[in-house]
A = this chain, B = another copy of it.
């Protein structure tokens, strides 16, 4: 509570605050004896510079803001983990904000975090965000800003993402190689970057194997509604019925799994299941559900590194604006049908 200040030290040692200040920060031209004296006393009194005073003076807070849709989500909590690891190493604090998948809250939160004087912002868009004017604003002001995972191409700033295209391609290819032909794709809202990237990978894999793309096999599921069960039903009712499900998130994979179990649809005998998911219990959940694992922690780390570079203006050879990190396909079945 009674934090000791430079002024206290100065008074106690009969020096001026500037001398103490200089001694403390090991300034070049200062009497070694004075320096020792100050250092010792500071140590003894457990002096700690007041970061708020520093912030005011230097006009920077040494804090970065992170805006994610939800903390309580495997991918994001892992990403935050990565962000923290880097940030704390570089002397930055991490202040976490949640948009709760709401566009309005995202806008408010962006404003809040900026007026809270974070030095930079790391953001993954809410699933409702289609307009990025609130960020365009910051971009134009040159405010340090990095996007990760769910990004908008309308912003010309660094983006760190998983290689969703390639992950989806490999997932689909795996299903095709094991003989599946009617692959349903259960995914999230169509305007999201990750949705589009994955859909493209899915389509291209189908094309490579000369399987026609069937619009009917693709279903979009919002974050609010728990409509996964009915959607699976609809899909199963198609003729011909799907022989595989490729889902775009933890939630969808779980919902799909639950629906299939409820209807006694055998996996992988009747349908194969593969999903983008970061659940570490996937193999316990369903030993035959393959997964595409996103490199959450690496994404967080890279994003944080990139942001700190931006903040500290070390734009040496200006690294590429979009970094894609491979998503890892984990195969847990081998029921080749041919």
Residues in A lying within 8 Å of B, measured CB to CB: 1-2, 48, 50-53, 55-56, 61, 63, 71-74, 77-78, 80-81, 84, 93-96, 98, 115-117, 141-143, 254, 257-258, 261, 279, 281, 284-285
Contacts and interface: CB of A to CB of B under 8 A. Distances in A.
Contacts of A77: 71-73, 77
A2 B140 CA distance: 12
A284 B285 CA distance: 7
A45 to B, nearest CB: 13
15 contacts: A1-B142, A2-B141, A52-B117, A53-B56, A71-B77, A71-B80, A72-B80, A77-B77, A80-B96, A84-B98, A93-B95, A93-B116, A95-B95, A254-B281, A281-B285
Contacts of A84: 71, 96, 98
Contacts of A141: 1-2
A190 to B, nearest CB: 26
Contact of A254 (B63, B71, B116, B284): B284
Nearest to A82: B72
A117 B51 contact: yes
A59 to B, nearest CB: 9
How many copies of the chain does the oligomer comprise?
2
A116 B51 contact: yes
A106 to B, nearest CB: 14
Nearest to A60: B52
Nearest 9 Cβ contacts at the A-B interface: A48-B115, A72-B77, A52-B55, A77-B77, A52-B56, A1-B141, A71-B77, A72-B78, A72-B81
A205 B142 CA distance: 63
Contact of A115 (B51, B95, B142): B51
Contacts of A98: 81, 84
A161 B96 CA distance: 24
Contacts of A115: 48, 51
A261 B284 contact: yes
A74 B56 CA distance: 37
A84 B72 CA distance: 12
A110 to B, nearest CB: 13
A70 to B, nearest CB: 8
Contacts of A116: 51, 93
A72 B95 CA distance: 16
A175 B248 CA distance: 38
Nearest to A279: B281
A63 B97 CA distance: 13
